[in-house]
Amino acid sequence: MTAESQAPAEDHAPADRHCPDLTVGERAMLEGWLEYHRRTLAWKCEDLTDEQLRTASVPPSDLSLMGLVRHMSDVERSWFRKVLAGDDQGWIYWSDEDPDGDLHLTEADTWKDAYAVWQAEIATARTNAARFELDDLGLGKRRPNNEERYSLRWIYTHMIEEYARHNGHADLLRERIDGRTGE
């Protein structure tokens, strides 16, 4: 078999990425799945250079692994600070002038910075969520003229869905970069 016809190497998951216990309660299950998906995105970015992490999928898309991490930083901030805790710190990367600013990367954007911001938002999300019960409604609004309130349970479920969808994108991006696939 030639090198060109060999199947890509399988990318085995790291030891610190595991599914939640099958018998835990609802909150532990939701938190466990959210952590699983957070760790999956980090894993898909491991062992790549900044240039590889900035590599967009295919034109005209600007989607890249670093862009996904920056996007999830703003998503974590939106749901766990703004909507849940009522603490509107503004966006990290998004703006009215550039609503896709999370995906618009330059040579100056680094993995070190993107990862640090993302981890800081995750830490704040954990702290804020710990103050609420699953049925508690958030203190803030998603949009200024919207009076809807979201429960912590709804936010957890939405965040699991958000990460799962983007982890599918991350799988394809990673495979395009170096052929690695995984579970």
Residue scoring higher pLDDT (60 or 18)? 60
| pLDDT at residue 46 is higher than 50 | yes
Model pLDDT for residues 1-13, shown as the tens digit of each residue: 334 433 444 556 6
How many Cα neighbours within 13 Å face the side chain of 24?
11
Q: Is the pTM of this model over 0.85?
A: yes
Dihedral angle at the C-alpha atoms of 34, 40, 41, 45, nearest 10 degrees? 160
**Residue 3, pLDDT score:** 40
Q: What average pLDDT is seen over the chain?
A: 90
Which residues, listed in sequence order, are joined to residue 11 by a DSSP beta bridge? 182
Q: What is the pLDDT of residue 13?
A: 64
